[in-house]
A and B are shown apart, each in its own frame.
Chain A
Amino acid sequence: MSQDSTLQLAGLIKGNEAALVDELITAMRNKLMRFDKASESEIRQQTAQLLKLLELNIPKTTTHNLNDSIWAETKQLLTEFSHARVKQGYTPAETASIIFSLKEPIFKLLRASLTDQPQQLVEELATTTALFDSLGLYTIDVFQKAREMVISRQQQELLELSTPVVQLWQNVLALPLIGTLDSARTQVVMENLLQKIVETGALIAIIDITGVPTVDTLVAQHLLKTIAAARLMGADCIISGIRPQIAQTIVHLGVNLEDVITKATLADAFVIALKKTGASITNSAA
């Protein structure tokens, strides 16, 4: 594309911003269901800003590759634009379609000003389309990235949340496990438990699996490894929260838990743990 043709586009936008935005808003009103007054004024303001930036930046470059540093400010604006739409509940397609909808009114302007230069008109239309396509697609990218960041943050939070080691009594720790025990989380569980054993000098650790829906051989192996490591550090482990269906499954699988003390409930396990550490509970009413 020639420098000449892009200059034409910038010149056309200049002085016509208000009209362009008006046409866009009218088009949007017909297209989008959720288009209300509040978002209208915001979109009005942001698209006006976008057009200003375009008219400023288009003459400076011949590339519509948004990775070019000239487009940094425009990308910043589009990022804000996209995030604002996320908050208002727009879909990625609706967000991008606002940007794409700017094309039609600009095409109209181009056609009007270049009626006698068909060759240049075609070129202008092609470059304008390319530019607005990459702008619109960029808003989708940003939208997607915002979602991905939320997901990865939640994954991190889950990893942390699900593995608290609590002290029940002097020398007695409890590890209530919840959810799926995949390898990454089991690693965190093991580290947390062993670390806490060092810190507290605990003699007994109760691993409660009430919240673990499936105990297959991999889960069993992870549990056995954790127990072996704790034992090396001088702490005995009790597994509690074994439900009837899990017990039957473990028997069918042939997993050997005979060397491990197991109990049906955390309360039972706690009583055993107290006995082992020399403490006892007495009922004062008796």
Chain B
Amino acid sequence: MKTAESGAVVMPLYSDEDVVRLRKLVREELAALGFGIVDQTKMITAASELARNTLKYGKGGECHLGKLNESPKIGVELVFTDDGPGIEDTALALTDGYTSGGGLGLGLSGAKKLSDEFHLETRLGEGTTVTIRKWKFS
């Protein structure tokens, strides 16, 4: 995957309040770029799921929010990184209803369905990086 344009905003994710702040930031960014309310809500929800995963399973990390421009379409990219234990079986983790932490088991797979592009990279013992993107024609 290509990386986002420079000028990415970095949000630390170490508490529940950070997740709330991230949702607010994503909402503002998408609204400013002219995304519709449905796309806004989808991306905010996906961000919320991934941020919570970063917090809960990755023991905290950060989110990079960047803007993309591939004329005629523009987009937003969110990159979640942590230095946590990593994911042993990514296929299993992406299965609807599977959870290792008492949740509904729909967060990671839901984030994939809610975004236009989804990319998961994980190394056991080193951490996990999840990238999601949302596009719109300007």
Contact = CB atoms under 8 A, between A and B. Distances in A.
Contacts, number: 66
A218 B103 contact: yes
B103 A221 contact: yes
Given A216-B48, A221-B103, A253 B41 contact: no
Interface stretch (A37-45, A76-84, A244-252): A244-252
Contacts of A215: 45
Nearest to B19: A182
Interface residues of B, number: 23
Nearest to B26: A214
Interface in B4-23: 16, 20, 23
A221 B101 CA distance: 13
Interface stretch (B57-65, B82-90, B104-112): B104-112
A243 to B, nearest CB: 8
A214 B114 contact: no
B104 A249 contact: no
Q: Which 8 A-B pairs give the minimum distances between C-beta atoms? A: A253-B110, A245-B41, A216-B48, A252-B113, A245-B38, A217-B104, A217-B107, A217-B106
25 contacts: A182-B20, A183-B16, A214-B41, A214-B44, A216-B45, A216-B48, A216-B52, A217-B49, A217-B103, A217-B107, A217-B110, A218-B52, A221-B103, A245-B38, A245-B40, A245-B42, A248-B38, A249-B42, A249-B45, A252-B42, A252-B110, A253-B106, A253-B110, A254-B106, A254-B113
Interface of B: 16, 20, 23, 27, 37-38, 40-42, 44-45, 48-49, 52, 96, 103-104, 106-107, 109-110, 113-114
